[in-house]
A = this chain, B = another copy of it.
Amino acid sequence: MVTPLLDEDTLDLKGCEKLVNHLIGGGVHGLFILGTTGEGPSLKQSLQLELVKYVCSEVGGRIPVLVGIMDASFKEAVNIAAKAEEYGAYAVVIAPPFFYQISQDELYSFTSRLIREIFLPVYLYNNPGLTKVSFEVETVEKLIQDPQVIGIKDSSADMFYFNRLLKLTVPSEMPLLMGPEELLMEALLIGGTGGVPGGGNVFPELFVEIYELATAGKLEEARNLQKKIMKVSETFYSGSGYGSSNVINGIKCALKHLDICNDYLAQPLKKASPEKEKKIHQFLAGS
């Protein structure tokens, strides 16, 4: 879920409310807030906590709320997790610390110590393109010995790696979620459990449907729907900047055109350009 913002310092609470209900109405099985698409790392901590509190309250137990814990500082990470528990989150999704370059040994120590200081269930969040370190399969294998670890979200877009993770997660039926929505169909076809598609903010039904088709093994129908997912990807996530901006500003731009929430992005990311906005507007008008 993106984080609706009025400006650098202010949540768009009306937008949050609409977005939460748009998503639940669209049939999603859970919410993941304050992840990469949720601009977690760009928001000051007090704003992050305000969002967690608001969303948990608005959801009111209808579906599980997962909270991204993405902070370069161990102690700040612990603090956010404690608040997430207090506000009623279902689980936290923890990313590696993302400033220093670290070894697997350091990653394991950091993560296992962090889990020890957190009381909610934990998803591991692999996103090496942004955190500079990957949870290598051997490290995942050690970490999931701990029953507090209940799932994995992989945003590496590395299907070779995802295939190797399946060997760990399939026997125990541990959820293994795909990050990039373009790879959701195939992740499900080969045995993955679900996904965390950014485009689901705009079109929750689309991704619920691909989930249902792929898990039911309806190959032809799934491939047809996949064409639409690729079309959304091309239209919404292209642009002149880097990936981070382009993905999030495409989603927020569409949500604004759907009158769901504001399209402000926290520093350092930027709104969609007028040209991109026009393309998205046309897409929405035609879809």
Evaluate contact between A44 and B73: CB separation under 8 angstroms: yes
Query: Measured between C-beta atoms, what is the minimum distance from A233 to chain B in Å?
Result: 9
Q: Mark A107-138, 1 if CB is under 8 A from B, else 0.
A: 10110010000000000000001101000000
CA distance A42 to B76 in the complex (A): 9
| Option from B36, B73, B157, B240 in Cβ contact (under 8 Å) with A42 | B73
| Option from B130, B217, B266 in Cβ contact (under 8 Å) with A74 | B266
| Option from B74, B158, B159, B217 in Cβ contact (under 8 Å) with A267 | B74
Query: In the complex, which residues 66-109 of chain A have their Cβ closer than 8 Å to any Cβ of chain B?
Result: 70, 72-76, 79, 96-103, 105-107, 109
Known: A129-B101, A190-B226. A45 touches B109 (CB 8 A): no
Evaluate contact between B242 and A97: CB separation under 8 angstroms: no
Evaluate contact between A160 and B160: CB separation under 8 angstroms: no
Evaluate contact between A242 and B183: CB separation under 8 angstroms: no
Query: In this complex, what residue of B is CB-closest to A47?
Result: B75
Interface residues of A (CB under 8 A from B): 8-9, 36, 41-45, 47, 70, 72-76, 79, 96-103, 105-107, 109-110, 113, 129-130, 132, 157-160, 163-164, 167, 180, 182-183, 185-186, 189-191, 217, 219, 223, 226-227, 230, 240-245, 266-270
